[in-house]
Amino acid sequence: MKGFTLIELLVVIAIIGIVTAVAAVNLMPSDAEVARREAGLLAMSIEKARDAAWFGGRPTAVSFEDGRLRQWRLAPDRTWQPDASSDRPLGETQVTALHIEGEALATNQRLVFLSDGFVTPFRVALEIRGIPRAIEGDAAGALVVRDR
């Protein structure tokens, strides 16, 4: 008689269960993992704008409006021009507050980076899936993502 024994079937079912459990953990991250990842990606976008100012020799800025992070460049005629190639959707990220040198600003105002390498200390407060996070920048240009 050909077929599988009950033991063989149970072993196969157990292996399938283990593989499914491991895959589920990796495919469905927790809210805290999503918040950490999204805050990190947003911090990298802000760093990109800072670096564009430093290495490009012209001030750049970012703003948080219409569900997007927008990057701006200061044109030779001293007007701010949007850089559409650097726009990034915020997705589930909500910017709840923006502080520059401790002063609260409207969340849609621009955070400006000058080309001289110095940065005005700032803090961008975020909420991602109900989890608070903050991106802080110091005068030397270092950015840190923190639990709020």
pLDDT for 9-21, tens place per residue? 999 999 999 999 8
Residue 78's domain comprises: 31-147
pLDDT in tens, 106-143: 988 999 999 887 888 999 999 999 999 999 999 888 99
123 lies in a domain? yes
- Tokens 């701010």 belong to residue: 80
How high does pLDDT run on average in the chain? 91
Quickly state the pLDDT bin for 3 (edges 50, 70, 90).
Answer: confident
CATH of the domain at 105: 3.55.40.10
91: CB partners within 8 A, 6+ apart: 38
64 lies in a domain? yes
Residues in the chain: 148
Q: Is 81 helix (H, G, I), strand (E, B) or coil?
A: strand
Calpha distance 120→21 (Å, rounded): 47
In this predicted structure, what is the pLDDT of residue 1?
Answer: 61
In this predicted structure, what is the pLDDT of residue 26?
Answer: 76
Q: Extract the runs of DSSP E, i.e. beta strands, from the chain.
A: 60-65, 68-74, 80-82, 88-89, 93-100, 103-105, 111-113, 122-128, 131-137, 143-147
3 lies in a domain? no
